[in-house]
Amino acid sequence: MASGIQILAELMVLPQDMNAKQWVAFAGLDPRQYESGSSVAKKPRISKAGNKYIRQALYMPALVASNYEPHIKGYYAHLINDNGLKPMQALCAIMRKLLHAIYGMLKTNKSFGGERFYTFPAGENA
């Protein structure tokens, strides 16, 4: 409950004309290429150049959802097993996608639907 209140408090002060991609950038969850001197082949990281309070508020809901919500749990497993991400990287991806879901829910006035978050491949169940 506290996370939801904090997320809404941080997001409701944003301009109404911002899109989901701009919300993600504002939260600092957008990928950023890392290049420094001879280190030009590093993997992209999240920028962390945004609002740390949104990232902090999204962390616990993403962690709980990755353990208990079937579609998010499936997406988390997909990111780790199929895409080779580390658990923290997968959690950041879930945080980013949750922010997109919150944007969609607020703009369309619909409730959360896990099936829109991640669809299981044919023959695979929750």
Q: Please tell me whether residue 66 adopts helix, strand or coil conformation.
A: helix
Q: Judge whether residue 56 has pLDDT over 90.
A: yes
Burial 6-18 (b: 16+ CB within 10 A, else e): ebeebbeeeeeee
Predicted pLDDT of residue 12: 87
Tens-digit pLDDT profile for residues 79-126: 999 988 999 999 999 999 999 999 999 999 988 888 888 887 776 766
Predicted pLDDT of residue 20: 92
H-state helical runs in 1-126 = 2-11, 20-27, 52-68, 70-81, 87-108, 114-117
Confidence of residue 44 (pLDDT cuts 50, 70, 90): confident
